[in-house]
Amino acid sequence: MKRLAIIGSGDLAKQIAHHAVNDKHYQLVGCFDDFKILGEESNGLPILGNLDSIQDCFNQGMFDELIIGIGYNHMSFRQELFLKFEKTIPFATIIHSSCFIDKSARIGKGTIIYPGCIIDINTEIGNNCLIYNGCNIAHDTNVANNTIFSPGVNIAGFCSIGAHVVLGIGSVLSDNIVITEKVRTGAGTVVVHSIIESGIYVGVPAKKIKS
């Protein structure tokens, strides 16, 4: 079994470790975190060092694959880390075994799909994405890199979602919707028209409340 290291050691890292180990994808080696001390434990996860030590630890053969366990409050940092390491360290792709992923779907590296998701025909999900429990992504939809879907997001067919988008819990997108990059939606948002300006949107139908 391959050995996994996680960047970050907070709640998200703990969840990723749980699924990676309990769903039998990886053996967990530990986490890298600038706010923790080498050798201590955080959330029951061993700390391997700070972020500056990631490349050296990989070069020394301490782990096989890397994943980012930093959440939606740090979207730029997630992207920065992925771009920094993608050429020199393999990224894990973790898809929980309870998901239905159609054979025609393509899922990028560094992407994690939590339990109970459905990813249908001709769907493409980019690199470094995080798809929480119970998301349903219909046919022919594209999801760009570094995008996060909270639990229970439902997306109809032929949609296109830009990079660095965060969809809040229970968000719904009608068919043929295009969402530009760096958009965030609130809990229960229903998007019925394409969103061409970055910002925070809430409500039914979705309206922009913040840039």
Ligand X SMILES: CC(C)(COP(=O)(O)OP(=O)(O)OC[C@H]1O[C@@H](n2cnc3c(N)ncnc32)[C@H](O)[C@@H]1OP(=O)(O)O)[C@@H](O)C(=O)NCCC(=O)NCCS
**Residues in contact with ligand X by the rule CB under 6 A:** 132, 150, 168-169, 184, 186-188, 200, 202-203, 209-210
* Least distance (Å) between residue 111 CB and ligand X: 16
Write b or e for each residue in 174-211: b if 16 or more Cβ atoms lie within 10 A of its Cβ, otherwise e.
beebbbbebbbbbeebbbeeebeebebbbeeebeeeee
* Least distance (Å) between residue 182 CB and ligand X: 13
* CB nearer to ligand X: pick between 99 and 202: 202
Active site residue 139: yes
| Strand-pair category, 112-113 with 94-95 | parallel
In the bound state, the residue with its beta carbon closest to ligand X is 186
Task: Count the Cβ atoms, other than its own, within 10 Å of residue 137.
Answer: 28
| 209 token code pair | 């409340």
* Least distance (Å) between residue 14 CB and ligand X: 14
Q: Are 6 and 32 in contact (CB under 8 A)?
A: yes
| Strand-pair category, 199-202 with 183-185 | parallel
* CB nearer to ligand X: pick between 83 and 187: 187
* CB nearer to ligand X: pick between 130 and 177: 130
Alpha helices, H only, 60-179: 75-85
The active-site residue out of 74, 139, 164, 193 is: 139
* CB nearer to ligand X: pick between 31 and 166: 166
* Least distance (Å) between residue 29 CB and ligand X: 26
Q: Are 184 and 166 in contact (CB under 8 A)?
A: yes
- Please identify every residue annotated as catalytic: 139
